């Protein structure tokens, strides 16, 4: 059995910086409210019609591939995590495959929102440590700004999210002291609608026990997009922020401690925790609870907002570029998000 190591890492964020004050031009919000509640100062938005989740993912991937010392032709499997794909189907995996010019290799799409990168990492780990693949490309990317409600109605969600992508190349190593030590995945579908983007979908309100979205009257089909959804503008994400907060601050520490305990460590042993950048308040709560020093955690939500599946690889890459991740370090990654889903990974760098 091999261990799986991160051989290369890269990220891409679009050029356009959107400050909190920029948002006050289109909705009733304020710089003070956003900073106090979320810690976010600014985020990046992709160029409409020019950039997409797949193109940003490909840019991040090119950097990760180069840093791994391989070429795109060496990649033997692609995993793409996103909640904001270019198309309803097919997924972004095949689009990145086309952009990188590597036909035939398998391409898997992961739909686990903020936990997507951790879920993808765990899947990649199973393929790599068994020797099935030698260079797995794992990407997390999001183009949130294309699907947010920029009216005041959507302000509680819209101010939080930003665009970007991060990628890693995963390779086998025979060195049992480095690489991914363990991954831990969890979910609780009882909270499915608490943080969700329901339309377009085929449910017609069934899961919610309501007729809120209204199946059309005809005998067959037509529920993905109905006139009623259109008329009600019922095609934006929704979030019960306080419910998310309450469960997130419980599950983040739980799943971090699970990873540490599995490997015989305590929070004091962590060299760097890179939590999914959901909200600075959540990260700070977790830091306090685990009694971590400031140098044991890396946050960058202040600059990029919440980039969902992209947030961990972007933050990890940034920390690595800053010299905060060194060979031999114990690095913990942890995520919580829509589903609810949550997970962690412990890595000896
Ligand atoms: N600007 C100004 N006012 C706002 C905004 C905004 N952007 N959004 C909401 N408000 C108003 C509300 O309308 C409400 O006004 P009212 O009192 O007049 O009715 C008031 O602020 C308080 O609203 P709440 O929703 O109760 O605000 P809360 O203090 O809970 O803060 C927040 C909202 C920041 C979302 C908080 O609940 C939170 O941090 N939740 C965690 C969820 C989260 O971080 N999600 C990230 C994405 S999910 C993930 O990655 C896991």
Alpha-carbon span 81 to 187, nearest angstrom: 16
Average pLDDT over residues 307-318: 98
The pTM of this model reads 0.95
Give the rounded percent of residues in the chain with a pLDDT score beyond 70. 94
Query: C-alpha angle 69/124/176, rounded to 5°?
Result: 70
| Dist. CA 245 → ligand 1 center (Å) | 10
Q: Which atom of ligand 1 is nearest to 161's Cα?
A: 47
The question of whether 276 is a catalytic residue gets the answer yes
Alpha-carbon span 25 to 192, nearest angstrom: 32
Each domain of the chain, given as residue ranges in start order, spans 3-173, 179-191+240-348, 198-235
The predicted pLDDT at position 42 comes to: 98
Q: Which atom of ligand 1 is nearest to 282's Cα?
A: 44
The predicted pLDDT at position 225 comes to: 73
Indicate the class that CATH gives domain 3-173: alpha beta
Using DSSP's 3-state secondary structure scheme, residue 192 falls into: coil
- Stated as kind and residue range, the H or E segment containing 304 is helix 301-304
pLDDT digits (tens, 9 = 90+) for 188-244: 999 999 999 988 877 655 555 455 555 555 566 666 777 777 788 888 999 999 999
The predicted pLDDT at position 214 comes to: 54
Judged against a pLDDT cut of 80, whether residue 29 lies above it is answered with yes
| Dist. CA 71 → ligand 1 center (Å) | 44
Alpha helices in 168-240 (DSSP H): 227-231
Closest CA to 345 of 182, 117, 110: 182
pLDDT digits (tens, 9 = 90+) for 150-165: 999 999 999 999 999 9
The question of whether 306 is a catalytic residue gets the answer yes
Which tokens hold the place of 68? 């791994």
| Paired sense of beta strands 136-142 and 238-239, if any | unpaired
Count CA atoms closer than 13 A to 326's CA, side-chain side. 4
Q: Which atom of ligand 1 is nearest to 278's Cα?
A: 50
The predicted pLDDT at position 213 comes to: 52
The predicted pLDDT at position 75 comes to: 98
CB neighbour list of residue 39: distance below 8 Å, 6 or more residues apart:
279, 280, 281, 283, 284, 299, 301, 302
Closest CA to 237 of 189, 196, 203: 196
| Dist. CA 147 → ligand 1 center (Å) | 19
Average pLDDT over residues 275-301: 98
The pocket around ligand 1, CB under 6 angstroms, is made up of: 29, 33-34, 37-38, 114, 155-156, 159-160, 195, 241-242, 244-245, 248, 278-279, 281-282, 306, 336-337
DSSP state of 349: -
Alpha helices in 146-240 (DSSP H): 155-158, 227-231
Q: Which of 276, 298, 300, 317 is catalytic?
A: 276
Pocket probe for ligand 1: among 24, 27, 279, the residue whose CB has the most ligand atoms within 8 Å is: 279
Indicate the class that CATH gives domain 179-191+240-348: alpha beta
Which tokens hold the place of 109? 């799409």
């Amino acid at each position: 059995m091999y261990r799986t190591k991160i051989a290369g890492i890269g990220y891409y964020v679009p050029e356009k910086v959107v400050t909190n004050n920029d948002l006050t031009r289109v909705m009733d919000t304020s710089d003070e409210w956003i900073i106090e509640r979320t810690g976010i100062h600014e985020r990046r938005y992709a160029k409409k019609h020019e950039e997409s989740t797949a193109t940003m993912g490909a840019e991040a991937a090119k950097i990760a591939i180069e840093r791994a010392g391989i070429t795109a032709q060496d990649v033997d499997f692609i995993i793409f995590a996103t909640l904001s794909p270019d198309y309803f189907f097919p997924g972004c995996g095949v689009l990145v495959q086309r952009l990188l010019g590597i036909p035939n290799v398998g391409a898997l799409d992961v739909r686990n929102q903020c936990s997507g990168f951790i879920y993808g990492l765990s899947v990649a780990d199973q393929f790599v440590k068994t020797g099935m693949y030698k260079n797995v490309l794992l990407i997390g990317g999001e183009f949130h700004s294309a699907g947010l409600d920029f009216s005041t109605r959507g302000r509680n969600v819209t101010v939080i999210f930003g665009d970007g992508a991060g990628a890693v190349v995963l390779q086998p190593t025979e060195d049992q002291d480095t690489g991914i030590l363990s991954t831990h995945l969890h979910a609780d579908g009882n909270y499915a609608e608490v943080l969700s983007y329901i339309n377009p979908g085929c449910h017609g309100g069934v899961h919610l026990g309501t007729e809120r979205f209204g199946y059309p009257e005809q005998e067959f089909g037509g529920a993905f997009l109905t006139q009623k959804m259109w008329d009600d503008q019922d095609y934006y994400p929704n979030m019960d922020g306080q419910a998310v907060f309450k469960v997130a601050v419980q599950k983040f520490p739980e799943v971090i401690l699970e990873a540490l305990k599995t490997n015989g460590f305590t929070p004091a042993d962590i060299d760097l925790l890179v939590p999914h950048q959901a909200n600075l308040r959540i990260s700070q709560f977790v830091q306090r609870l685990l009694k971590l020093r400031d140098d044991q955690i890396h946050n960058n939500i202040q600059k990029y907002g919440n980039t969902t599946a992209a947030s961990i690889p972007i933050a990890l890459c940034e920390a690595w570029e800053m010299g905060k991740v060194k060979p031999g370090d114990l690095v913990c990654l942890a995520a919580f998000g829509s589903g609810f889903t949550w997970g962690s990974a412990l890595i000896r760098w």
